[in-house]
Amino acid sequence: MIVSNLTTQNSLQLQQCAREERKGARRSVNFAGGLVFASIALMYGIQIVLNLVLQLNGALGGSNSILLEYLSSCISYLFLALIPIAYALAGREPADQLLPFQKPQTVGLTKGDLLLLGAAGMALTLASNYPTELVRMLQQAFGFSGNIPDMPLNHSIGTQVFYLIYGTVIPPLVEEILFRGVVIGCLQRWGDWFAIVTSALLFGLYHGNVGQFVFATLVGLIFGYLRIRTQSLLPGMVLHMLNNGFATLGTVITQNFGSHVSNIYFLTYFTVFYGAAALLIVFRLFTKGTKSFANLKIPYRRMASTLAARVRGLVTSFGGIAMLAYGAILSVIVLVRS
C-alpha cells in the first residue's frame, strides 16, 4: 500500500513537472517567435525607408541602381541583429549565454574533434541541398518554376563585390546572432534539442519560401547542434559563411564565365568537403574506434515532457503563430509569382 501511494505520488509529481515544462516552453517559444518577427519587421521597415529615400532622390533609376539596392539591403540586413543584441545587453539573462563567442576548446573538445565537426558539418550542410532540389522538382511538377528569389546581378565589379558581401558576410553574422545566439539562449532552459529544433524551424520560416524552408531548417539543426555542443557561435558562423560564400561565388562565376565553368567549380568544392569528411571519419574509426565519437554527443538532460509536447508551443503561442503565418503567406506569394 505504501509502495502504491509512493508510485502514485511520483507519477503526479512527474505529470506536474511535465505541465510546467510545457507551459515554460510555450512562453519561451512565444518570446522567441515574437523576437524574430519584430526583428524581421525592423529590417523590412529600414529597407523600405532607405529605398524610399533613394527613389525620392532619383537614385534608383540610374546606372548604379543595382549597386545602391545592394547597399540598401546590406544596411537594412544589419538591423536584423539590433533587437537581439539589445536584449542580450539589457542584462535580463547573462550576455555570454545568449551570445557566446568563447573558444570551443573550453568544453572538452580537442582540435581533432573540432576539425571533424567542421568537415562533417560542412558536408551535411551541402547535402541539405538535395532535399531542397527535390522540393523544387515537385514544384515544377505542379507547374511552378521552383526558383528561389535572388538579388539581381550584372557585370559591374562594384555590384559583384556587394553581392559577395551581401551573401557571404552579413547574413551569417546577423542570422547566427539572432537564431543560434539569442533564440537558442532563450529556449535552452527547456532542453537542448528543444532549443535546436525550435530555432531551426523558426530559421526555416524566416526565409519565407518552401525550398529555403527545407534547406534552412536542416542547416539550422546542424548549426544549432554546433552552438550547443561547442557552447560557441563561432563554429556555426564560420560554416554559415563558408556555405554562403561558396554559393555566392558560384553565382558570380556563372555570371562571368558561364554555367560550364561554374558546374566544375561546384563539383570541385562539393567533392573536397565530402572527401575531407569521409577521410576524417574513417581515420578516426581506425585510430580511436567508435567510442571516440561519444565525445561529440550533446550531454543528455532528462525532461519530464516529450520534445514534441514542448515544440507544440510553435502552434499554440502568439509569437509562434505569427512566424507560421509570416512563413506561410510569404511562401504562397513566392510560389504564385514563380
Over residues 287-338, the pLDDT tens digits come to 988 888 888 999 888 898 999 999 999 999 999 999 999 999 999 998 888 7
The pLDDT of residue 264 = 95
pLDDT band at 1 (very low <50, low <70, confident <90, very high): very low
Residues 6+ away with beta carbon under 8 Å from 320: 29, 30, 33, 313, 314
HSE, side-chain direction, 13 A CA sphere, residue 63 = 3
Task: Please state, rounded to an integer, the average pLDDT across all residues of the chain.
Answer: 89
Q: Which residue has the cell 547542434?
A: 225
With CA atoms as reference, report the closest residue to 303 among 10, 20, 27: 20
- pLDDT winner (highest mean) among 134-138, 158-162, 314-318: 314-318
Instruction: Identify the residue with better confidence: 229 or 108.
Output: 229
Question: Can you give the pTM of this predicted structure?
Answer: 0.92
Per-residue pLDDT reduced to its tens digit, 238-251: 999 999 999 999 98
**Mean pLDDT on 168-174:** 94
- Contact yes or no for 73/47 (Cβ under 8 A): yes
pLDDT of residue 59: 61
Beta-carbon contacts of residue 268 (< 8 Å; ≥ 6 apart) = none
Tell me what percent of the residues of the chain surpass a pLDDT of 70.
93
Question: 223 with 204: CB under 8 angstroms?
Answer: no
As a whole number of angstroms, the distance between CA 243 and CA 128 comes to 11
Per-residue pLDDT reduced to its tens digit, 184-193 = 999 999 999 9
Mean predicted confidence (pLDDT) in 80-109 = 87
